[in-house]
């Protein structure tokens, strides 16, 4: 264990909380989207939440590999998450705009955790986060193209 491992675990747990709230928000949008682009948005939100289910699992497993305990109650995650639930049912474009804002927050958070892991020579965590960041960047590009249409 390097000296940055406790800080990496703490920050991965924060990321796990935000990713979990984001995942549920994506499901909310998938279930409640309507309007002329229903099918496109419905399918997009489903593909995003499927990908984030896998990402959440990878983050939690990395916390375990580092000797930590992943956050595991919704109450605990909601208490610390910086991503907020969305009690509204906005229109499809607003859902996408809110998704973009959350993805940007998650990207910044992953970069920060990646820097901590990199400083501790934790190449596995850095690699995990690099892959997740690449996925976010692709999603941001695709959603941006959708909103521009």
Q: With b meaning 16 or more CB within 10 Å and e meaning fewer, what string describes 87-118?
A: eeeeebeebbebbeebbeebbebbeebbebbb
pLDDT of residue 38: 96
Does the domain at residues 5-148 carry the CATH identifier 1.20.1260.10? Answer: yes
pLDDT in tens, 34-65: 999 999 999 999 999 999 999 999 999 999 99
The number of C-alpha atoms within 13 Å of 113 and in the hemisphere containing its C-beta is 29
- Select from 54, 84, 81, 59 the least CA-distant residue to 70: 59
d(CA 112, CA 88): 30
pLDDT of residue 1: 55
DSSP letter string over 99-110?
A: HHHHHHHHHHHH
Long-range contacts of 128-134 (CB under 8 A, 24+ apart): 128/58, 128/59, 128/62, 132/55, 132/58, 133/107
pLDDT in tens, 61-98: 999 999 999 999 999 999 999 999 999 999 999 999 99
pLDDT for residue 132 is more than 80: yes
């Amino acid at each position: 264990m390097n000296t940055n491992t406790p800080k990496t675990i703490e920050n991965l747990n924060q990321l796990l909380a935000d990713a979990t709230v984001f995942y549920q928000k994506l499901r909310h949008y998938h279930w409640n989207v309507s309007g002329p682009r229903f099918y496109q948005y419905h399918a997009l939100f489903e593909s995003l939440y499927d990908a984030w289910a896998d990402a959440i699992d990878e983050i939690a497993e990395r916390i375990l590999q580092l000797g930590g305990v992943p956050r595991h109650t919704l109450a605990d995650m909601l208490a610390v998450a910086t991503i907020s639930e969305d009690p509204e049912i906005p229109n499809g474009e607003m859902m996408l705009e809110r998704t973009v804002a959350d993805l940007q927050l998650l990207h910044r958070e992953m970069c920060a955790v990646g820097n901590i892991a990199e400083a501790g020579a934790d190449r596995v965590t850095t690699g995990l986060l690099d892959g997740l960041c690449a996925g976010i960047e692709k999603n941001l590009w695709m959603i941006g193209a959708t909103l521009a249409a």
